[in-house]
């Protein structure tokens, strides 16, 4: 199977390069060049310059070796910080001096916690009242697509697998936003802040119209088309803004607690100070209230986010998050399943990005005015990198074998952020109290 896929990748490579204009690569920005390099199936990308912090942990060597993809633990690129967990256990976290506010916590999630989050992401979260990428086009069962899938897999031929029906194109859907013909267009949204919140929140945000071409589909097939599930405040993909007219769903306790614990454990004074103790950014970059990191241990409250479900061929194009009114508060990212290449650059695509290999159990935080406005993306999911502790032993009694089977071709990313800064009242227009 691997040999066949390699031959196919080789054929596609020579076909695409033969038809490519000779000077096309000269028009690519440094960020786009990196995306192209790591996305390529042939030739297999060289990962020797990718930061792979799992190599610093002797307990993860088996995971790295079994996966077959290996980066580099070049400590010259990073600055370690010692931190203490709430249980009193010390751990190293790492900073990239060229990207102030980026904090890497390799192997932060225990094996048990990873399993719990995988189960939560699929069994508990990808169902009402949380909207998913499938809801626009299909009438999903109330129990969620995962439970429907597992019920059939468990009972096998004793059941006729349920077909998930497409949403009918009716008068009810006529007022929804249709998908424009041709290639998808990038949406350049206005950066949200307290001064323009009132205008942005009043903009009309029509729901997307269901596709007229989808057909009834089995849950076992549709599951692998799931791409995201909303957390907290509802994110409107058509405008890349939050829709505050819709009811907010609370952030689940397990996710909120993990994110708060991570933010509290980080010594932000060390993060935002260079070796000579001078701040990396002028205080004006933080806005009129000055640096907010001094009170994050008390004021950080995650209220929005997304669970991303990647399949092996999926990518996330380089982009900037600018929908949150609070543009500096920590964004916490948790990785589960197959490893991924993560690119993070600067304020434009013209900045050369830093490639980082994120493995299952790793946590990453982006915080502060520079890092939160940095371009970032995921050009590659690395096949065969699910760690041993997420594999099925074949003897589980808790249904883990179904979750393990899903993870063989998947990566799950739980991505959580804070929309509103301290003192901002969304119900009282656009000014801090």
Closest CA to 323 of 231, 237, 430, 423: 237
376 in a labelled binding site: yes
319 is in an annotated binding site: yes
Flag whether 193 is marked binding.
no
Binding-site residue set: 319, 321, 376
Binding-site residue set for Fe cation: 319, 321, 376
């Amino acid at each position: 199977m691997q040999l066949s896929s390699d031959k196919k990748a080789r054929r596609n490579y020579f076909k695409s390069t033969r038809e490519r204009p000779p000077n096309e690569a000269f028009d690519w920005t440094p960020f786009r060049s990196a995306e192209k390099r790591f996305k390529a199936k042939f030739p297999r990308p060289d990962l020797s310059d990718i930061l792979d912090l799992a190599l610093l942990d002797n307990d993860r060597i088996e995971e790295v070796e079994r996966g077959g993809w290996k980066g580099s633990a070049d400590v010259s690129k990073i600055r370690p910080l010692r931190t203490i967990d709430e249980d009193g256990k010390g751990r190293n976290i790492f900073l990239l001096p060229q990207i102030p506010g980026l904090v890497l916590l390799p192997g932060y999630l225990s094996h048990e916690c990873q399993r719990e989050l995988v189960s939560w992401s699929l069994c508990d979260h990808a169902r009402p009242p949380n909207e998913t990428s499938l809801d626009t086009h299909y009438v999903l069962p109330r129990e969620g697509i995962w439970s429907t899938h597992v019920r059939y897999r468990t009972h096998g031929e004793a059941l006729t697998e349920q077909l998930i029906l497409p949403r009918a194109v009716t008068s009810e859907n006529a007022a929804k936003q249709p998908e424009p013909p041709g290639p998808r267009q990038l949406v350049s949204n206005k950066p949200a802040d307290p001064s323009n919140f009132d205008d942005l929140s009043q903009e009309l945000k029509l729901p997307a119209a269901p596709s007229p071409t989808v057909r009834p589909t089995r849950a076992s097939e549709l599951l692998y088309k799931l791409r995201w599930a909303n957390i907290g405040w509802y994110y409107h993909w058509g405008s890349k803004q939050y829709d505050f007219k819709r009811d907010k769903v609370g952030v689940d306790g397990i996710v909120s607690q993990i994110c708060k614990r991570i933010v509290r454990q980080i010594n932000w004074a060390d993060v935002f100070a260079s070796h000579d103790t001078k701040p990396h950014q002028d205080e004006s970059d933080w806005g009129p209230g000055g640096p907010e990191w001094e009170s994050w241990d008390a004021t950080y409250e995650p209220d929005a986010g997304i669970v991303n479900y990647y399949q092996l061929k999926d990518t996330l194009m380089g982009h900037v998050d600018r929908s949150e009114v609070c543009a500096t508060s920590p964004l916490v990212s948790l990785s589960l399943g197959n490893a991924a290449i993560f690119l993070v650059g600067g304020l434009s695509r013209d900045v050369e990005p830093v490639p980082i290999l994120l493995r299952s159990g790793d946590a990453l935080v982006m915080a502060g005015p520079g890092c939160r406005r940095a371009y970032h993306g995921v050009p590659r999911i690395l096949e065969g990198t699910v760690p041993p502790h997420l594999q099925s032993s074949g003897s589980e009694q808790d249904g883990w074998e179904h979750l393990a089977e899903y993870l063989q071709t998947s990566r799950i990313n739980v991505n959580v952020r804070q929309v509103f800064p301290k003192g901002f009242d969304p119900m009282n227009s656009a000014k801090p109290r």
